[in-house]
Chain A
Amino acid sequence: MIFALRRILVTVPMLIAVSLAIYALTDSLPGDAADMRFEKHPESKAEWREGRGLNDPFVVRWWRYIGGVVGDFDFDRSYLDDQPVGGELVRKLQATFELTVIALILALLIGGTIGILSAVFPRSPIDYIGNFIALAGISMPVFWLGMLLIVFAVNVLGLPFTSNRVDPLLDMDEFVTHLYIFESVVRFRFDVFWSCLANIALPAIALSSIPMAVITRMTRSAMLEELGKDYTTTARAKGLRHRTVILKHVLRNALIPITTITGLQFGGLMGGAVLTETVFSWPGLGRYIVKKGVEARDTPVIVGGILLVATMFILVNLIVDLLYAVIDPRVRREA
């Protein structure tokens, strides 16, 4: 527990340094938000810059910003639409979280299964097919795969395709969070639940392609390594069933590297998947930070977004470390 607390506390100064670096970087680029927002109105640029305090020296602005973040948990207002960035980040984070979780569940189920089968039957057709799928998954650009999935769904299967998260006609006034799948189950709103699943299916498949490939390869090699160890032979020798040996002994020992790689993938995906989100118009973090923040030179969105992503990454890594203790009793004993 103390270990976890210390890890969190150490990150605070790190995050402040990160914010300074990002703030300085976006500031040093030529052109700013006013150039974009008042593209056709040169005289309004100066007026707006003055009003939003953009004419103050860089250090003054950063200090005001970080003061707001630390003091009031206020992430400033967007330079594009003047709305508070904090609330928007939280909403976008929930959309990203939902997509990431579903994609990773898919990746674990499919990738894990293929990985185990490839390890148990090495150099068999299933190993080669698994290898091929993994290679294809990691080398296919996701925007292309995404379009391919859409075309396949619409023109081949004749399924209705809708982007975004849920059917806009559904009455969802009672919803308080943006975790629609979770909340619809809690509220017994299965109309919303099905609509969410239908909408999330394609982006989740597209997004899961890379983690699925990584998990497949990692599972296969970790399993192969454990399969060659003495305890496996012992287990077999004492007459355990093949399935029990694989699932109870070998897989459990292979879980540590699989957990590590899954955690890393999770942390990475939580930063938002710009390409997937763009193809499927998913209102997530990646699109918010890159499309709204970077393209519009919206410094509060960029800095706030990156702070949030960095925090998420650190948290996920911490959770992974704690998970090791659950999986492996030796880690527990050492701590």
Chain B
Amino acid sequence: MRHALFLLLAVALATGCARKEKKGSGATFIWGRSGDAVKLDPALVTDGESVQVITNLFDTLVTFKPGSTELMPWLATSWTTSDDGLVWTFALREGVQFHDGTAVNAKAVVFTFERQKDKDHPARKKDDVFAYYTTNFRALKSIEAVDEHTVRFTLSQPYAPFLSALALFSCSIVSPAAFDREVDFSMHPVGSGAFVFESWQRDSQIVLTANTKHWDAPKIGRLIFKPIENPQARLKELESGGIHGMDNPDLLDIASAEKDSALSVVRKPGINVCYLALNNQKKPFDDKRVRQAIAFAIDKKRLIRAAYDGKADPAVTMCPRSMAGYHDITDRKPSIDRAKQLLADAGFPDGFSTVLWYPAIQRTYLPDSGGTAIQIQQDLKAIGIDAKLKKVEWAAYLSATSNGDHPMCILGWMADIFDPDNFLYVLLDKDNAVAPAENRSFYRGERVHQLLLQAQRSAEWSKRQALYAEIQTALHEDVPCVPLATAPDFRILSSRVAGYELYPAGGEYFRHVSFKK
């Protein structure tokens, strides 16, 4: 027995020192994040964790400038639009290859879009649902390959956010050859992006290697995505060098991370909005004066101190401040007297009782849903409105509020497409106020509806900007819902890391990341 143990120990010493690492050259960057990806087929995913990986694996026709929401040419080097705004022609970058060696050409672009468009496309599986396509490409009539490096999109009606929509992760160009294989594309993705898929162990790690043939090839050799659910544990692992960067830190840890010279905190204004939806179809919220009274009652600054640890900006309109098209309106000053006066005018001098719904979940835009609800409850109590709190589990919450079961509810929205349309039309147009509704205020303002459609169809930005200003002014007067706060995005990185940019558009792009010497 003792001899066997010694033997084992000897072998361990002889072989154990030999560390066998994964093949490949260059530095490894490990990104710690709050969860694992769901799948890696860009057209099918709906969750942020998957998008973080997808933006590194694939290219889109146009993409975001580093760290901004402005667009720049990417797979498409240039494009032209017809005068009526219906026909878009894109010239593709030449000599680009997918990771499987096949060419990125017009046919691949057509394949990418037709797979999502045609119900009987051969590459479409039985229960594939292309949610982002359905929501954002209603206006796309056809797409054709003009020649090897030219594609043409034809729209059925002018759709101004079209170019922004093409930068969406779901429009990532996929390799058609990869769909002829036995393996599931969403587990073995093939794109043309700056990184190549290597392996995925669920809930443990996703490994990508650098695509050295890419025209903007990465500086690091390997990229690993590691899910570390608990934000404190994630920060500790960053401190001890196990990972090199992380997302979604706990807001309460930011101050100490800022003091640590081994870490650097990256902060960008978020493109999201948290709001209090008032069900405009239910009494007494069908009365504009009641809604205005509530807007006067809520003290957003105090709410942000209490429920966001002071780390958020008050939202004035439903379009976030950092989004082009935001109209700078002076917000109402919280005033109990004016709120009470408006309530009395509406026939509720003694207030009324109602129910305030809030979700049992934390989101970027809602880090403390209970705290937010309590603050609103107190503000409403001051003007005589007795709001009972109702906490609902997330799935049930989404389902019930989209059916309009709530009198008041707290919700938020993060942009998909970087256009005011994605906030104002999606959240407040009457088209979206039919159950199951995204317009959870069930606001059916006719004038706003007409203006929103007009803005959607104008090609000129200055004209659209004027329209969105008018819409936001009208909404501010009408108060279908009360915009509460816009939460910033935070990342923490090791101070050894250089070249990291936070993309407010969502997704992560690691091709410019490197390590300082």
Contacts of B240 in A (CB 8 A): 154, 159-162
Contacts of A41 in B (CB 8 A): 46, 131-132, 134-135
B233 A35 Cβ-Cβ under 8 A: no
Given A164-B205, A168-B205, are A52 and B127 neighbors across the interface (CB < 8 Å)?
A: yes
A81 B233 Cβ-Cβ under 8 A: no
The distance from the CB of B424 to the nearest CB of chain A, in whole angstroms, is 15
How many Å lie between the Cα of A150 and that of B233 in the bound state?
7
A68-99 interface bits toward B, Cβ cutoff 8 Å, 1 = contact, 0 = none: 00000000000011110000100110000000
140-185 of chain A: CB within 8 A of chain B: 146-147, 150-151, 154-155, 159-165, 168-171
B16 A194 Cβ-Cβ under 8 A: yes
Given A30-B400, A147-B232, A147-B233, are A189 and B20 neighbors across the interface (CB < 8 Å)?
A: yes
Give the contacting residue for B39; candidates A31, A82, A163; CB below 8 A: A82
Given A31-B396, A191-B19, are A279 and B230 neighbors across the interface (CB < 8 Å)?
A: yes
384-430 of chain B: CB within 8 A of chain A: 393-400, 402, 413, 416
Contacts of A295 in B (CB 8 A): 394
A39 B202 Cβ-Cβ under 8 A: no
The distance from the CB of B270 to the nearest CB of chain A, in whole angstroms, is 16
Report if A45 contacts B (CB, 8 A).
Answer: yes
Contacts of B394 in A (CB 8 A): 31, 36, 295
CB nearest to B434 among chain A residues: A42
How many Å lie between the Cα of A38 and that of B38 in the bound state?
13
Give the contacting residue for A43; candidates B16, B134, B227; CB below 8 A: B134
Contacts of B186 in A (CB 8 A): 81-82
B37-74 interface bits toward A, Cβ cutoff 8 Å, 1 = contact, 0 = none: 01100000010000000000000000000000000000
How many Å lie between the Cα of A288 and that of B202 in the bound state?
10
The distance from the CB of A219 to the nearest CB of chain B, in whole angstroms, is 26
A82 B127 Cβ-Cβ under 8 A: yes
Contacts of A164 in B (CB 8 A): 204-205, 226-228
B203 A160 Cβ-Cβ under 8 A: no
A49-75 interface bits toward B, Cβ cutoff 8 Å, 1 = contact, 0 = none: 001100000000000000000000000
- Size bin of chain B's contact surface: 35 or more
B11-30 interface bits toward A, Cβ cutoff 8 Å, 1 = contact, 0 = none: 11001111111110000101
Given A81-B39, A164-B226, A168-B205, are A40 and B416 neighbors across the interface (CB < 8 Å)?
A: yes
Give the contacting residue for A91; candidates B135, B202, B230; CB below 8 A: B202
Given A147-B233, A160-B241, are A37 and B204 neighbors across the interface (CB < 8 Å)?
A: no
Other than the given A43-B134, A168-B226, A170-B22, 15 more pairs (CB < 8 A) read A32-B399, A35-B402, A38-B131, A40-B438, A41-B134, A43-B436, A44-B135, A51-B126, A82-B186, A189-B15, A190-B16, A278-B230, A279-B230, A281-B227, A283-B201
Instruction: Give 5 nearest A-B pairs by CB, closest first.
Output: A190-B16, A51-B127, A31-B395, A31-B396, A283-B203
29 contacts between A and B (CB under 8 A): A35-B396, A35-B402, A36-B395, A40-B131, A40-B135, A42-B437, A43-B135, A44-B130, A47-B134, A51-B129, A83-B187, A88-B202, A92-B203, A147-B230, A150-B236, A160-B241, A161-B236, A163-B226, A163-B233, A163-B234, A164-B226, A168-B204, A169-B21, A169-B22, A170-B21, A170-B22, A279-B230, A281-B233, A287-B229
